[in-house]
Amino acid sequence: MTTQRQYQRQFVRTFFTSPTAVEGEDDSAKMLRSAAKLRGMQAPDTWIPDNEDATAPSMRDEGVENIVEVVAEHGADFPGEIHPRVVWHRDSPSTRYEGFQQMLRIADPEGGAVEYIDGFVIPEVGDLDDWKKADEFLTIVETEHGLKEGSLSMSVIIESGEAELAMSDLRAEMGKPSNNLERLFLLVDGEVDYTKDMRAMTPTGELPPWPELRHNTSRGASAAGLIAVDGPYDDIRDVEGYRDRMRENRAKGMTGIWALTPGQVVEANTAPLPPESGSWNLEIDGTAVELSEEDGLQVYRGDDLSLTETSDGEYHLTVDGEAHDLDEDELREKLLDLAAYVPSMTDIVDSMAEFEAAKDAGRGAIAMTQSTTLSIDGVEVDIERDRMWDEATYQAAQTPIALFQDVYEHRPDQHEELEEMYDTDVVERAMALGD
Amino acid sequence: MTTQRQYQRQFVRTFFTSPTAVEGEDDSAKMLRSAAKLRGMQAPDTWIPDNEDATAPSMRDEGVENIVEVVAEHGADFPGEIHPRVVWHRDSPSTRYEGFQQMLRIADPEGGAVEYIDGFVIPEVGDLDDWKKADEFLTIVETEHGLKEGSLSMSVIIESGEAELAMSDLRAEMGKPSNNLERLFLLVDGEVDYTKDMRAMTPTGELPPWPELRHNTSRGASAAGLIAVDGPYDDIRDVEGYRDRMRENRAKGMTGIWALTPGQVVEANTAPLPPESGSWNLEIDGTAVELSEEDGLQVYRGDDLSLTETSDGEYHLTVDGEAHDLDEDELREKLLDLAAYVPSMTDIVDSMAEFEAAKDAGRGAIAMTQSTTLSIDGVEVDIERDRMWDEATYQAAQTPIALFQDVYEHRPDQHEELEEMYDTDVVERAMALGD
Amino acid sequence: MTTQRQYQRQFVRTFFTSPTAVEGEDDSAKMLRSAAKLRGMQAPDTWIPDNEDATAPSMRDEGVENIVEVVAEHGADFPGEIHPRVVWHRDSPSTRYEGFQQMLRIADPEGGAVEYIDGFVIPEVGDLDDWKKADEFLTIVETEHGLKEGSLSMSVIIESGEAELAMSDLRAEMGKPSNNLERLFLLVDGEVDYTKDMRAMTPTGELPPWPELRHNTSRGASAAGLIAVDGPYDDIRDVEGYRDRMRENRAKGMTGIWALTPGQVVEANTAPLPPESGSWNLEIDGTAVELSEEDGLQVYRGDDLSLTETSDGEYHLTVDGEAHDLDEDELREKLLDLAAYVPSMTDIVDSMAEFEAAKDAGRGAIAMTQSTTLSIDGVEVDIERDRMWDEATYQAAQTPIALFQDVYEHRPDQHEELEEMYDTDVVERAMALGD
């Protein structure tokens, strides 16, 4: 049997939480209401009315009412999926029972919200047996309310060592007739509570990077046909840091991330899409430095690389603290090693279409050429690189296109912005790939 | 059921090994005797009379006698726990039988040592079935000697791929009625033999860093309610390297480390405690550079950052090889991104107490402000940062305080040094937190 | 029971794939034929006639015939092992059946190839149950063709999250009477398809580094007595990058790597062997810089370190952007911290022999001294380091020697090159170690 995703979205870029009831406001549902009206790039792929940590314990009863009211009113028009988070704790039966009751109330058809609710988010899960308790409650909720068994999805927050371990066994357990774990949708890291559970400490109190947790979550999602989402990035002002984190995550196969503000939603909806235009990098001292395009040249403006032409037509290049005397070919070779091209949406679509045509004509591999002229300290050097494209390259390049297709199919509210970002023509060609 | 620790100490900072019998000395128990007399910061949280690798095979019979004699004499006064290490190997039945006999002899009440012995350390374990063999021998030792079943703890050294894998299954096995694995206490990495078992090589022969092993050990400990301890740091002269390693470990949730000398014990007992005074860092090129306080200013004295004020009231900042022209607000913003504050014990206690008071008054989150004046190349810039404290921040900050409370409660011999390090007043307030 | 390797080679340095049938050539088996004639350092430890990704689907029937023909003709003389790769996919029963048929045909004794075939490589495996299907087909192939059950080895390519997870359970499954998984030999990472399966993306399209996958593969191999091999390094021109990757892999216990060209085979056959001559490094800013030997001095020629002697006999040292004023002893201490020695084959053999002699004389530990004179900016500084060698150090040093012995024993075709690289005398002494 093929590992298959059981739900509509193949990718989730954004997981946006809103408090369900805020004390001291005229309208305690104010935050829910404003979130429900988000559209386009400001609207997340999954919206999480958060009746757990984001809402004060004393306000959670009111939070349930607010979710029902706001989702009943606005759910039909909301462009993303809606997944309320309820309370739960692996170590507390009373919290689990409270979470069960919250789900029962939110999913009551009388309230009119459940038809717009895609599933629930369960925090603080433990062993798989604990996940099964939540799954069983969801089955009961569905039965009591006359909903189809398995129709409500379940997403979990991984914020304990035991939950991290549980992800290894997920695939084997999901097929068993005694549970409905096929309803699983998102595996979401929760690094704040995970750090507490692991009793980790950093001098400044910032969160440890937890690369192994993120790998294991991404792998668990891959093996069970689910979607991996990273936890909150607290420093809302630090857009560059948020982008770096997302780039790191994508290299781990974790495409989604928590967003705390509509601003973060825009960033996180945009970041995994192929760039509008291509660019050249030089990798110096382990860091990729983007070159700036000026009059068709790719210009380096930094201090870590210096290049001079000597009187005898040789070149003197200093990079990573090492000096090299090179002839023209050696220089070209050396710079080619340092340079890398970041393809644009158009580049990817062109290459894939060219490869599809070659395959139809019976060829299994084609060479794609990238060339440019670098300018370093005023010295210009032409470089050119051939890259072989075979079936594997093609398949790997498909991930960003598959993501784009998934977004375009499920988020009509973003069409306008996407077509502003890319040419309409490229969008059409991207949507036609792989047919 | 809650994941609970079954033993007294919540944290173990230090795991200090001593050879049990040294050849060619008048008194072969000399090293044991001097270790048994350590007090205060020089005395470890766990002391390991090491009848395995630290003691020559021909001396191990005498080692058993020495352990019994020295622990019987000094055990009552020793301020830490005592956990002798015996021989064991997953691949050798005769070594395992020898380890069993060593435990039988050491725990014999006739010798008078067992009442001061908290448990045994089993090296070179393999699969969980191998751990169970050691557990069963401990159960027999307890029964034969009229000790309470489960009263002797068991700590293991992880020094093989199979033992690393075994840690994933620990939690599920510990509850079973056919074993007494609830006696487990420490999971200790043994990187020297692990490197051999993995057949890893480095050019200089230094140990690989094994970040994944340390993560998996820390996670295994977290999931099973145990304590994770890192292996020996061989380069005894390299105090800075030892501190770096411990800082890395704490960010993984691994609070304890092996100590080979009383000097390392002092370092490792001190390192996880909150600092006496706070300090400011600038993060440049991925490295945190501590600033020096001078006349209330935080002064940067390095080459990787340069700042000048231009004639038009703008600023020119160079950092990480990139030049920026900034106005005052942009400069402040940029430096705020680079700066981080390392809170002192007093800071942590103050913040937690303030949050506890706010919570009692019905508020779920408060803002804590940190401000200072940076001085870079003679230019002074005021920066100020608000950090939101909510329940999760509070819980995360609790780890260093919980560690301090655990130390203070179980190590009266360190009270004097702790009260010299911190003010008595702060110590009292720290002990009262969380009540 | 001891974890034991069930096959002849203890180490595999190289995994070299060749297309089995190339379209449009006079002789479609041309690539196979030239690979079969490789000898010495150009010949891999394992040669993989690749009837999967390297060969166009339409050519794979012909590929089977070519394998049979070329291996029957050249197999007797080929110096490495021969492991054809057939098609397989965890998600496709028809592909699995095709792989079964390919194995049946290749192993048919009528063709005359099977006596030179050591085993098969199965790509794209999934859960362990999927591995068992391939194992069962191999058992049937053996039975049908009158071969001894378990005589054909099986190697797998790890290119999915589920296969990565499966490696954790391998050890427990391998002993079961219902399978012949003892035939397993290599665990090979396949990062291209793994990246696709994990849906990971990088800006430039280069492969993510996947450190956790490599750790888990190496650990899986260690726990089950198998050999871990890393996947293809695509940038064939980038020899330095290939060497860096192999050095990283060895620190993870992964000694083997895929090779795409005879040039890469030479690199990968050579890299894990101890160097011909020793060298000194300075570790600056996290990077090891090799010093150059000139007239018995170890000379540093870089920009990241500067050293001057002041008029009062003190020294001014700048390193990692920090300035230090030091007296002679402090300077020596500081440089000793930065310096590391990379021992040569002769150094390792000398040290091990010395330790073996000491052990025979009843001593458990000896000190080995390394000394040299550093020259930095014209200032000369003598440094000297003692390193304790005990049983554990000796055991760890054995890995490169065990690898050398394994190579020397099984690859007589490389003797000439090995004896050119090292002195004949050192080779003899290395082969005698551990007896």
ipTM of model: 0.94
For residue C172, which residues of chain B lie inside 8 Å, CB to CB? Answer: 127
Q: What is the pLDDT of residue A290?
A: 87
Tens of pLDDT, residues C253-305: 999 999 999 999 999 999 999 999 999 999 887 778 889 999 889 999 887 78
* HEC per residue, B269-319: HHCCCCCCCCEEEEEECCEEEECEEECCEEEECCCCEEEEECCCCCEEEEE
Q: What is the pLDDT of residue A6?
A: 56
Q: How far apart are CA B78 and CA B74, in angstroms?
A: 6
Mutation for testing the B interface, residue in A165, A173, A194 having most B CBs under 10 Å: A165
Cβ of residue B398 closer than 8 Å to a chain A Cβ: yes
Cβ of residue B238 closer than 8 Å to a chain C Cβ: yes
Nearest to C396 among B91, B162, B196 (CB): B196
Q: What is the pLDDT of residue A107?
A: 98
Tens of pLDDT, residues C64-77: 999 999 999 999 99
The pLDDT of B155-182, averaged and rounded, is 95
Q: What is the pLDDT of residue C21?
A: 95
CA-based nearest distance C405→chain A, Å: 36
Q: What is the pLDDT of residue C1?
A: 45
CA-based nearest distance B355→chain A, Å: 15
- Kindly indicate the confidence band of residue B1, based on its pLDDT and cuts at 50, 70 and 90: very low
- Kindly indicate the confidence band of residue B3, based on its pLDDT and cuts at 50, 70 and 90: low
Q: What is the pLDDT of residue B140?
A: 98
Mutation for testing the B interface, residue in C219, C252, C304 having most B CBs under 10 Å: C219
Q: What is the pLDDT of residue A1?
A: 45
Cβ of residue C53 closer than 8 Å to a chain A Cβ: yes
> Would you say A140 and A179 are in contact if contact means Cβ atoms under 8 Å apart?
no
Q: How far apart are CA A246 and CA B275, in angstroms?
A: 33
Radius of gyration of chain B (CA): 25
Q: What is the pLDDT of residue B35?
A: 98
Cβ of residue B434 closer than 8 Å to a chain A Cβ: no
Q: CA C408, C410, C411, C415 torsion: positive or negative?
A: positive
For residue B395, which residues of chain A lie inside 8 Å, CB to CB? Answer: 193, 196
Say if the Cβ atoms of A162 and B171 lie within 8 Å: yes
Q: In sequence order, what E strands does C330-408 have?
A: 339-342, 365-376, 379-390
Cβ of residue A320 closer than 8 Å to a chain B Cβ: no
pLDDT at B406 over 60: yes
Number of other CB atoms surrounding residue A251 within 10 Å: 20
Which stretches in chain A have pLDDT values below 50? 1
Q: Which amino acid is at A430?
A: A
Say if the Cβ atoms of C198 and A219 lie within 8 Å: yes
Nearest to B200 among C250, C337, C390 (CB): C250
Q: How far apart are CA C50 and CA C32, in angstroms?
A: 9
Cβ of residue B343 closer than 8 Å to a chain A Cβ: yes
Cβ of residue A2 closer than 8 Å to a chain C Cβ: yes
Q: How many CA atoms lie within 13 A of C57 on its CB side?
A: 9
CA-based nearest distance A213→chain B, Å: 9
C224 → chain B, closest CA residue: B162
Please list, in sequence order, all residues whose beta carbon lies within 8 angstroms of the beta carbon of residue B254, skipping any fewer than 6 positions away: B214, B217, B218, B221, B228, B229, B230
Task: State pTM to two decimals.
Answer: 0.95
Q: How far apart are CA B382 and CA C4, in angstroms?
A: 65
Which stretches in chain C have pLDDT values below 70? 1-7, 321, 435
The DSSP output letter for A201 is -
The pLDDT of B353-365, averaged and rounded, is 83
Q: Please, what is the average pLDDT of chain B?
A: 92
Say if the Cβ atoms of B195 and C396 lie within 8 Å: yes
Tens of pLDDT, residues B184-199: 999 999 999 999 999 9
CA-based nearest distance C195→chain A, Å: 7
Nearest to A165 among B223, B288, B399 (CB): B223
Say if the Cβ atoms of A251 and C201 lie within 8 Å: yes
Angle between helix axes B239-250 and B262-270 (nearest 10 degrees) is 40
Say if the Cβ atoms of C219 and B56 lie within 8 Å: no
For residue C199, which residues of chain A lie inside 8 Å, CB to CB? Answer: 11, 222, 253, 255, 399, 402
The DSSP output letter for A54 is T
CA triple A320-A324-A326, angle to 5 deg: 135
Angle between helix axes C128-144 and C93-106 (nearest 10 degrees) is 30
> Would you say A88 and A99 are in contact if contact means Cβ atoms under 8 Å apart?
yes
CA-based nearest distance B118→chain C, Å: 28
Specify the residue for token string 């009625």: B177
Nearest to B337 among A198, A200, A238 (CB): A238
Say if the Cβ atoms of C161 and A219 lie within 8 Å: yes
